[in-house]
A and B are shown apart, each in its own frame.
Chain A
């Protein structure tokens, strides 16, 4: 379980993300809200990609800062826009990311290649792939090493509707034993366990199913 305790983060001169007490339980949690409501900034904080100015985040009762390295090996992260090393092949990028996560297993790479239907393009370079394919590779790297927490910012952007539907099911299955936090403008498209709504950098609604 992720616990948020009174975090505050300054994003710009007149915009703060400010969340009081919040618990995100195992399962699929979807965050929605208008553009500029602070969803991405909040996800960065949850993914440990940025530090809060005030307050703290805890994973199963342990503060993030206490074991940041170990925690980061347990987090899969997909930012909203990622432009990867363009000459890297699909397989090399996955190998690189798996290595950085401390996962040397080739089985893990083979598994995500199959789960995300990337086997046919494993030797293709990033710059020769469509934006949708590149997005799928970035999604795939988040699942390397079976992380306990996966944080994804608009994960299905650029992905075709049929593949998007399949991935929604895949994420829902994964969320049965792990925590997946997704920022998406269409929360009704997901089978959620928790739905957060953000407005002007603050938590506007928190519904648990």
Chain B
């Protein structure tokens, strides 16, 4: 074993010496083949040169992968191209109901029941009802409309805008929806109060809340069309409060004809503002002056 070990060591030493000698002899010759590591700029240049080839190769692979898709029906065939013939105001109205969650309608129903029970209660004085309705009906309408914009995210507004239904038209339909619900709510409450035997003139009582509700609706649509939703709420809210302050003045209530005149003017102004804005919105294909105002 020892002998063999010694022989192996000798052979190993001879090999190492030979290898070193060979390396020394070849060094000048091999020097020209030794590559220095590439610089960052060189790598960038190479990638830039190769990029079109990579893209071409990737594209070919992609086409190869997708050829089976093309052979068996198009992957996107079921997406069904849109045709704008299907657009209608009724369709938009139905769509805007999607924006209202079931909770909202439950809350509305609860409010309606409360209003009816208050209106038909014998313990409530008639004068309270005269004050209760002009406050609650427009407030409900404004709050309901605001609820539909609860996702105040700009991105969502933009998504709703890049559709064939113009933003002004979407606002108009939502407001119309809330106005109709408010009027139904008010009429139900008024009839309940009348049936329960309250001593009130039904037409005057209806006018008492319908006038401010219509004025607020007209102002909301007219100002939103011209200045945007924030200004619409600011101005119509201020006018509504001013109107209610005037309503509180005893002179108006004492003098029936003056009271009728005030409510009549408010109702007319509200209707005129709404009609004027609706006509303008429809005439301008619903885009109005401020396309991106919502």
A and B: real partners?
A: yes
Q: Contact residues of A with B, CB < 8 Å?
A: 44, 47-51, 68-70, 72-75, 77, 79-88, 92, 95-97, 99-105, 107-108, 110-112, 115, 138, 141, 143-147, 169-170, 172-174, 188, 191-192, 209
Given contacts A69-B166, A105-B80, contact A115 B75 (CB under 8 A): yes
Given contacts A69-B285, A85-B151, contact A49 B79 (CB under 8 A): no
23 contacts between A and B (CB under 8 A): A44-B158, A47-B162, A69-B84, A70-B84, A77-B158, A79-B158, A82-B156, A83-B153, A84-B153, A84-B156, A86-B151, A87-B101, A87-B103, A88-B101, A100-B95, A102-B164, A107-B80, A108-B78, A108-B79, A145-B79, A170-B75, A173-B76, A192-B55
**Which chain B residue lies CB-closest to A173?**
B66
Q: How far is the CA of A174 from the CA of B158 in the complex (A)?
A: 23
Contact among A68, A143, A144, A145 for B285, CB-based, below 8 A:
A68
**Which chain A residue lies CB-closest to B291?**
A51
| Closest beta carbon of chain B to A85's beta carbon, Å | 5
| Closest beta carbon of chain B to A87's beta carbon, Å | 5
Give me the 9 closest cross-chain CB pairs, A-B, nearest first. A145-B82, A82-B155, A111-B78, A146-B79, A83-B153, A79-B155, A100-B163, A105-B80, A108-B80
**Which chain B residue lies CB-closest to A71?**
B164
A112 touches B95 (CB 8 A): no
Contact with A along B255-293 (1 / 0, CB 8 A): 000000000000000000000000000000111000110
Q: Chain A residues with Cβ under 8 A from B245's Cβ?
A: none
Q: Chain B residues with Cβ under 8 A from A70's Cβ?
A: 84, 164
Contact among A49, A83, A103, A107 for B82, CB-based, below 8 A:
A103
Q: How far is the CA of A138 from the CA of B55 in the complex (A)?
A: 28
Q: Chain B residues with Cβ under 8 A from A79's Cβ?
A: 154-155, 158-159
Q: How far is the CA of A7 from the CA of B79 in the complex (A)?
A: 33
Query: Which of B82, B83, B98 has the largest count of A CB atoms less than 10 A from its CB?
Result: B82
B114 within 8 A of A: no
| Closest beta carbon of chain A to B167's beta carbon, Å | 10
B91 within 8 A of A: yes
Q: How far is the CA of A179 from the CA of B262 in the complex (A)?
A: 58
Q: Chain B residues with Cβ under 8 A from A101's Cβ?
A: 82, 163-164
**Which chain A residue lies CB-closest to B87?**
A102
Contact among A48, A51, A209 for B55, CB-based, below 8 A:
A209
Q: Chain A residues with Cβ under 8 A from B243's Cβ?
A: none
Q: How far is the CA of A191 from the CA of B58 in the complex (A)?
A: 7
B246 within 8 A of A: no
Given contacts A102-B84, A146-B80, contact A72 B59 (CB under 8 A): no
**Which chain A residue lies CB-closest to B169?**
A69
Query: Which of B87, B95, B164, B291 has the largest count of A CB atoms less than 10 A from its CB?
Result: B164
B194 within 8 A of A: no
Contact among B94, B98, B156, B170 for A92, CB-based, below 8 A:
B98
| Closest beta carbon of chain A to B76's beta carbon, Å | 6
B162 touches A174 (CB 8 A): no
